Structure 1
Amino acid sequence: MAMRDGVYARISEDDLGTEKGVFRQLEDGRGLSKSRGGQVVAEFSDNDLSALTGAHRPGYEALMAAVAAGQIDRIIVVHTSRLWRNRKERADGIERLRAAGVSVLAVKGPELDLTTASGRMMAGILGEFDTAESEIKGERVARAALQRAQEGRANGAVLYGWTRVYRHDDQNRVTGFEDRESPVEAEIVREIVRRLLGGEALRTITDDLNARGVPAPGAGQRRQHRAKGQSDDGARWNKTSVKKIATRPANIGLRIHHRGRPDEMLVTAAWPPLIERDDHDAVVALVSQPDRWTARVSRPGARVHLLSWGIGECGVCGAHVRVAVRGNSKHGTKKPLYVCEGKGCVGRDEARVDLFVGHVVVERLKRPDLADILTMDDGGGAEALKRAEGIRARLANAADDYADEKITAEQLHRITARLKPALAQAETEARAYQVSPHLKVVLDMMGERAEEVWAGMTTTQRHAVLSVLVERVRILRVNRRGPGFDPESIEIVWKTSFQRPSVVSG
């Protein structure tokens, strides 16, 4: 009776997802089964999956389930390394095959009868060579990655915003590379940062990039998996990709090695920076606000009313205001009003309120002393930033000392573990002193051009300006009834960083 063979194939890396490697292995396995008088009853494969880490392999688990069910007499692989690389998984697999009376036959290797002690011993010995091969390769890869990090070079493909230029020797062999600024992609990076700091929402920027047909990072690269809603060629942007591009340290010429691990390093990158450090810090602070994307009153991409992001407040009960359409529909007098969303204490014509608030803000922007007041600092923020920069320099020096073999890897880890909490504390203190990320927008529109700039802004951008200047806009209750708009019913509470009148009138 012919042996019932189960052929198993595995490839560790297949970035393009072509599966050509597993197809070749399966074909070779079929040929060996036929030459040994066997019959292939099932085929299993895992493409682009490593066996070293013990990660879940669906094909392998299906194979072992077939073994447990008594459906297979022999497993055929190209090499035993295709079956196991991980020591724990190998030991478990050998026992499972011993119990089922299943042997392993390799196209390029021996046949292992795992029901015998010598067969299990040979499987263990061959497996140790397989494991060691992977671990040694991993050590080489890790050491090369560390060297690239210490030199500030990219680890892998060129980052979005730069283009790679290779160096060649006299025989046209690649001897190195240099990442230079990409004129097109670098401008997109700057545009994203500039628009975020200008008060535009991530959704607005994302939709605009897609509408203009701007290719997203990685467009044209073949991948097995794409984000939901992404096109097959990866050309579309989403909010996550826009956010990542805007906030990555690479934009200011910094390279992070082993992010989040005990040996994490921050070094100066070999590529040129694309944006200024102040703009980077501002945009990181902006998109890192914990309630920016989740709180109901802090979703600029979903709101179109000036005061409905938490700035508008009922002057009677303190509740937020929302916009509701009220009035007499028979006479065509229905209009949007700012109303108290708590008890309905107040209601005021939205257009008149927005016009009044805009007029008062523009007048405030014309004040010649406003710039000095807005940028006033007691020195605490500068001191925290200086301390953070000093700690980063010490970390960089430690990395250089390790590269020069002045200190050991253990010493580098101890230095990093000690300095990282101090760096985090300094950065936290600096953020506490940090001014609004939209301050630059306000400073750029100050003076006589304030009215013209305000008129050309979207509601989201106007709200960004208000977030710098205004704490609250309170809608007060009025005693009189009748037509007309009473400016005295609107109270603008300015930020405490400069003089704030209790009531601003027209």
Structure 2
Amino acid sequence: MSMRDAVYARISEDDLGTERGVNRQLEDGRALSAARGGQVVMELHDNDVSALNGAHRPGYETVMAAAASRQIDRIIVFHTSRLWRNRRERADGIDQLKAAGVSVLSVKGPELDLSTAAGRMMAGILGEFDTAESEIKGERVARAALQRAQEGRANGAVLYGWRRVHEFDDQGRATGFADEVDEESADVVRAIVARLLDGETLRGITERLNEQGVPAPGAGRRRSHRAKGQSDTGALWNKTSVKKLAIRPANVALRVYHRGRPDEALLPAAWPPIVSQDDHDRVVALVTAPDRGVKSVARPGSRVHLLSWGIGECGVCGGHLRVARKGNMRYGSKKLLYFCDTKGCVGRGRDRVDDFVGRVVIARLSQPDAADLLAHDDKAMVEALARADVLRAKLASAADDYVDERITAEQLHRITARLRGQLDEAEALARSAQLTPHAKLVLDLAGETAAATWASFSLSQRRAVLATLLESVRILPVLRRGPGFDPRTVEIVWREGSARH
């Protein structure tokens, strides 16, 4: 009776998703099975998946399940490293195949009878070489990555907003590269930042980019996977990609080293900046503000009305305001009202409330001291930013010491934990001392032309101004019955320092 063979293939990296590597391995495995008198009963592969860190491998798991249920007698791989790289997974796999009586046969290697002690020993020895090879390669890659970070060079493909210029020696051999500003794509980044600071929403910016046919970063590149709703060419933008592009440190010539790890650090980059530091700080503060979700709650119609779901609130229960048409058709058409969405405590005509709020804001910004609304402490901000730079340098130095084996991993962790807390405090202080994200909008309104400028603003821009100057607009219960609008039933709560005393 012929051996029932399962041919398994794996490739760690296949960015283009061509699967040519795994197909070659499967072809060689089929040929070896035939030469050994076997019968291939299943073929499985995991493409573009590393086995070193225990990543999910559906093909491998299916093969091991087939072995456990006695559906196969032998697993054929190109090399044992295609089956196991991880020590724990290898040990578990050897035990499972031993219990199932399944052997491993390599195209470029021996056949391992895991029912014998000698076979298991050989599998362990070969596997240890495989693991060591991966770990040594990982160390080389990590050291090269650290050097790139210290030199400020990009880690991989050129970033959106720049173009890569390769350098060659006299014999035409590549010796390096430099990233220069690509004005066309850099202008897209600058426009996104400017629109956010002008009060536009991420959704609105995303829709406009797609309507204008501006290709998204990475458009046209081959990908094995695309995000849901994305076109085959990858040309569409989404809110996440717009947000990431707007706030990435690369825009001000900084690069992140070891993002998300204990030794994460911001280091100077070798490429030129494409956004001013001031605009970058303000847009980061705007997009990442903790109260962003409070003042601009993403609800249906949240950008259709000035005060709904965010700035406006019920003066009785503190609930959000929403807008609906209410009234008696017997006395004419229904009117749009702001009303309490929680209990229906209050209700007031939308247009009259919007007009009143606008007039109050215009009156405040028409005063000579309007610019004082945005007073900030330049000295405090500069000192905090300098302190943050020193702390980032210390984090980078600690990372160097660890790589050069001058400190242990435990010491690195303790140093990083302490410096990280100090860095977070310094960055928070810098953000609190800097200009408000929508400073330009407020300053544009200041002066005698406030009314005309307010009239020219979009709804999103008006909301941004209100969010900058006001804590809330509260609708209070009516004081008397009857027609007409009573301004006393609308309470405007200014942010500290905004109201004229």
Which deviates more from structure 2 when the two are superposed, residues 143-152 or residues 300-309? 300-309
Tell me the residue number matched to 2:89.
Answer: 89
CA-CA distance at 1:225 after TM superposition: 2.0
Alignment of structure 1 residues 399-414 onto 2, 5 Å: none
Which deviates more from structure 2 when the two are superposed, residues 298-307 or residues 12-21? 298-307
User: 3-state SS of the aligned residue for 2:322?
Assistant: strand
Q: Say yes or no: does 1:153 pair with 2:156.
A: no
Tell me the residue number matched to 1:124.
Answer: 124
Tell me how far apart the structure 1 counterparts of residues 24 and 12 of structure 2 sit (CA, whole Å): 14
CA-CA distance at 1:82 after TM superposition: 1.2
Q: Say yes or no: does 1:15 pair with 2:36.
A: no
User: 3-state SS of the aligned residue for 1:448?
Assistant: coil
Q: Say yes or no: does 1:247 pair with 2:269.
A: no
Tell me how far apart the structure 2 counterparts of residues 459 and 330 of structure 1 sit (CA, whole Å): 32
Alignment of structure 1 residues 109-120 onto 2, 5 Å: 109-120=109-120
CA-CA distance at 1:379 after TM superposition: 5.9
Tell me how far apart the structure 2 counterparts of residues 6 and 478 of structure 1 sit (CA, whole Å): 79
Question: Residues 354, 65 of structure 1: CA spacing in aligned structure 2 closer, same or farther, 3 A cutoff?
Answer: same
Q: Say yes or no: does 1:419 pair with 2:388.
A: no
Q: What percent of counterpart residues are identical?
A: 69
Alignment of structure 1 residues 374-385 onto 2, 5 Å: 374-377=374-377, 383-385=383-385
Q: Give 1:77's aligned amino acid.
A: V
CA-CA distance at 1:162 after TM superposition: 1.2
CA-CA distance at 1:280 after TM superposition: 1.6
Q: Say yes or no: does 1:55 pair with 2:55.
A: yes
Tell me the residue number matched to 2:99.
Answer: 99
Q: Give 2:326's aligned amino acid.
A: R
Q: Give 1:207's aligned amino acid.
A: E
CA-CA distance at 1:132 after TM superposition: 1.5
CA-CA distance at 1:176 after TM superposition: 0.7
Structure 1 contact 265–396 (Cα < 8 Å) conserved: yes
Question: Residues 376, 431 of structure 1: CA spacing in aligned structure 2 closer, same or farther, 3 A cutoff?
Answer: closer
CA-CA distance at 1:431 after TM superposition: 3.6
Once the two structures are superposed, residues 102-128 of structure 1 have per-residue CA deviations (whole angstroms, 9 ceiling, x without a partner) of 222221122222222222222222222
Q: Give 1:82's aligned amino acid.
A: R
Tell me the residue number matched to 2:388.
Answer: 388
CA-CA distance at 1:223 after TM superposition: 1.8
Alignment of structure 1 residues 472-491 onto 2, 5 Å: 472-479=472-479, 481-491=481-491
Structure 2 contact 444–453 (Cα < 8 Å) conserved: no
Alignment of structure 1 residues 194-213 onto 2, 5 Å: 194-213=194-213
Q: Give 1:250's aligned amino acid.
A: A
Tell me the residue number matched to 2:25.
Answer: 25
Tell me how far apart the structure 2 counterparts of residues 69 and 343 of structure 1 sit (CA, whole Å): 61
Structure 2 contact 265–392 (Cα < 8 Å) conserved: no
Q: TM-score, normalised by structure 1?
A: 0.90
* Gap runs ≥5 in structure 1: 502-506
Question: Residues 499, 34 of structure 1: CA spacing in aligned structure 2 closer, same or farther, 3 A cutoff?
Answer: closer
Tell me the residue number matched to 2:219.
Answer: 219
User: 3-state SS of the aligned residue for 2:292?
Assistant: coil
Q: Give 2:265's aligned amino acid.
A: M
CA-CA distance at 1:453 after TM superposition: 2.5
Tell me the residue number matched to 2:232.
Answer: 232
User: 3-state SS of the aligned residue for 1:118?
Assistant: helix
Q: Give 2:272's aligned amino acid.
A: P
Question: Residues 37, 323 of structure 1: CA spacing in aligned structure 2 closer, same or farther, 3 A cutoff?
Answer: closer
User: 3-state SS of the aligned residue for 2:496?
Assistant: coil
Structure 1 contact 201–301 (Cα < 8 Å) conserved: no
Q: TM-score, normalised by structure 2?
A: 0.91
Q: Give 2:110's aligned amino acid.
A: P
Tell me how far apart the structure 1 counterparts of residues 476 and 199 of structure 2 sit (CA, whole Å): 28
Q: Say yes or no: does 1:494 pair with 2:474.
A: no
CA-CA distance at 1:499 after TM superposition: 3.6
Matched residues, number = 500
Tell me the residue number matched to 1:275.
Answer: 275
Tell me the residue number matched to 1:504.
Answer: none
Tell me how far apart the structure 1 counterparts of residues 400 and 94 of structure 2 sit (CA, whole Å): 46
Once the two structures are superposed, residues 68-98 of structure 1 have per-residue CA deviations (whole angstroms, 9 ceiling, x without a partner) of 2222222221112111112222222222222
Tell me how far apart the structure 2 counterparts of residues 341 and 42 of structure 1 sit (CA, whole Å): 60
Q: Give 2:68's aligned amino acid.
A: A
CA-CA distance at 1:318 after TM superposition: 5.0
Tell me how far apart the structure 1 counterparts of residues 23 and 341 of structure 2 sit (CA, whole Å): 64
Structure 1 contact 494–500 (Cα < 8 Å) conserved: no
CA-CA distance at 1:255 after TM superposition: 1.0
CA-CA distance at 1:189 after TM superposition: 0.9
Tell me how far apart the structure 1 counterparts of residues 128 and 474 of structure 2 sit (CA, whole Å): 73
Question: Residues 402, 440 of structure 1: CA spacing in aligned structure 2 closer, same or farther, 3 A cutoff?
Answer: farther
CA-CA distance at 1:142 after TM superposition: 1.0
Tell me how far apart the structure 2 counterparts of residues 54 and 216 of structure 1 sit (CA, whole Å): 33
Tell me how far apart the structure 2 counterparts of residues 54 and 477 of structure 1 sit (CA, whole Å): 62
Structure 1 contact 8–26 (Cα < 8 Å) conserved: yes
CA-CA distance at 1:139 after TM superposition: 1.2
CA-CA distance at 1:400 after TM superposition: 7.3
Once the two structures are superposed, residues 12-38 of structure 1 have per-residue CA deviations (whole angstroms, 9 ceiling, x without a partner) of 111111111111111111111112222
